[in-house]
């Protein structure tokens, strides 16, 4: 089962539903983004206090983790994480979660700012909260496919030394198109606008003059590069969806899971979490400026994963 579909995780699902519905509407409520930002800050603060009050002695929790198989799969948003969580939940011996807790959405900004802050959140709060959520679940394996933890990839092996870690990558052109159809880097995204290039980055001085399209390109390139540098195992979404043998060898065998070919085919043919109406054009219809901007920003990472061959001429 998928944790945040079948469990009421500290009452957090309402926030996801509210934001999804609000972003779909052609309305803009003044200062709502600031109000949501404030609410998230207060909620996460008290949630941290409560979690640490409940678990003041981690001895039993640490023993519990020693007997649990855990894995984390990271990816940039719109990279197929929901699809993969859905298909892996067909495995009878595993509980697989997707975007588990709202806290991750808040703390991802701190993770951008500092690896020390990322480690602190995982070690002092997240490890404990995960234990509280799933300690009574009988499944031997727990997996989390969470794009909001992508900037924690370097710290996860330190906090969860028993965990297996993977990087799920998708063609940057498709990711950029999908994000452009949503609210990312827009008025209705209260936290993502807090994510900016590092002060030592080439893009830091240019950020305020960059178009939304260029910012989304940077977002894919920057986080894909980070995951590439901080995970040792990468799988491609396109191959997972096209080839069951690849899916079995790269995912199932590595994670000790079993999903039948029939179940895999059923989900591949009925994907969840699809983008709304794709108002942004397919990359083959991008104008010259867009193609050049994407290639300038994302070209190196595209070539690394063999996505870029001759695409500018297509």
The CB-side HSE value for 280 (13 A sphere, CA atoms) comes to 20
What per-residue confidence (pLDDT) applies to 303? 92
Q: Is the pLDDT of residue 158 over 90?
A: yes
Dihedral angle of Cα 105, 111, 112, 113, to the nearest 10 degrees = 130
What per-residue confidence (pLDDT) applies to 100? 86
> Residue 119 contacts by C-beta under 8 Å, 6 or more apart in sequence?
155, 158, 159
The answer as to CATH 3.30.365.10 being correct for domain 3-313 is no
Which token pair is 102?
A: 């709202």
Mean pLDDT of 161-170: 95
- Single pTM value for the model: 0.87
* 4 or 48: which leads in pLDDT: 48
What per-residue confidence (pLDDT) applies to 216? 95
* 229 or 34: which leads in pLDDT: 229
pLDDT band at 148 (very low <50, low <70, confident <90, very high): very high
Dist CA 251 CA 91 (whole Å) = 12
What Cα–Cα distance (Å) separates residue 95 from each residue in 6, 105, 205, 252, 281? 11, 21, 44, 14, 37
Q: For residues 95 and 143, is the Cβ–Cβ distance under 8 A? A: yes
Closest to 148 measured CA to CA, from 84, 94, 191: 191
Dist CA 246 CA 278 (whole Å) = 29
pLDDT tens-place string over residues 256-286? 999 999 999 999 987 655 555 568 999 999 9
Dist CA 47 CA 232 (whole Å) = 32
> Residue 204 contacts by C-beta under 8 Å, 6 or more apart in sequence?
196, 197, 198
pLDDT band at 88 (very low <50, low <70, confident <90, very high): very high
Closest to 188 measured CA to CA, from 21, 42, 4: 21
Q: For residues 131 and 59, is the Cβ–Cβ distance under 8 A? A: no
Q: Where are the domains of the chain?
A: 3-313
């Amino acid at each position: 089962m998928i944790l945040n579909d079948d469990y009421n995780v500290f009452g957090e699902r309402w926030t996801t539903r509210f934001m999804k519905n609000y972003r779909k509407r052609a309305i803009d409520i003044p200062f709502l983004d600031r109000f949501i930002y404030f609410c998230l800050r207060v909620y996460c603060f008290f949630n941290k206090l409560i979690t640490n009050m409940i678990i003041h002695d981690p001895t039993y929790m640490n023993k519990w983790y020693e007997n649990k198989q855990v894995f984390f799969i990271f990816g940039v948003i719109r990279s197929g994480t929901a699809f993969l969580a859905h298909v892996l939940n067909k495995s009878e011996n595993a509980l697989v979660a997707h975007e588990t807790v709202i806290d991750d959405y808040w703390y991802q900004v701190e993770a951008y700012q500092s690896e020390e802050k990322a480690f602190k959140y995982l070690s002092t709060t997240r490890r404990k909260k995960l234990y509280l959520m799933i300690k009574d679940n009988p499944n031997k394996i727990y997996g989390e496919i969470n794009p909001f933890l992508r900037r924690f990839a370097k710290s996860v092996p330190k906090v969860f030394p028993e965990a297996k870690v993977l990087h799920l990558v998708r063609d940057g052109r498709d990711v950029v198109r999908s994000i452009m159809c949503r609210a990312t880097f827009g008025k209705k995204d209260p936290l993502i606008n807090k994510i900016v290039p590092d002060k030592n980055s080439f893009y830091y001085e240019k950020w305020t003059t960059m178009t939304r399209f260029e910012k989304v390109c940077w977002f894919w390139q920057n986080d894909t590069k980070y995951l590439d540098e901080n995970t040792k195992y990468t799988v491609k979404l396109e191959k997972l969806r096209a080839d069951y043998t690849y899916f079995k060898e790269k995912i199932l065998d590595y994670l000790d899971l079993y999903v039948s070919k029939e179940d895999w085919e059923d989900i591949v043919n009925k994907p969840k979490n699809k983008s709304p109406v794709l108002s942004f054009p397919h990359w083959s219809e991008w104008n010259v400026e867009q193609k050049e901007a994407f290639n300038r920003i994302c070209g190196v990472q595209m070539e690394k994963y063999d996505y870029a061959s001759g695409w500018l001429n297509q």
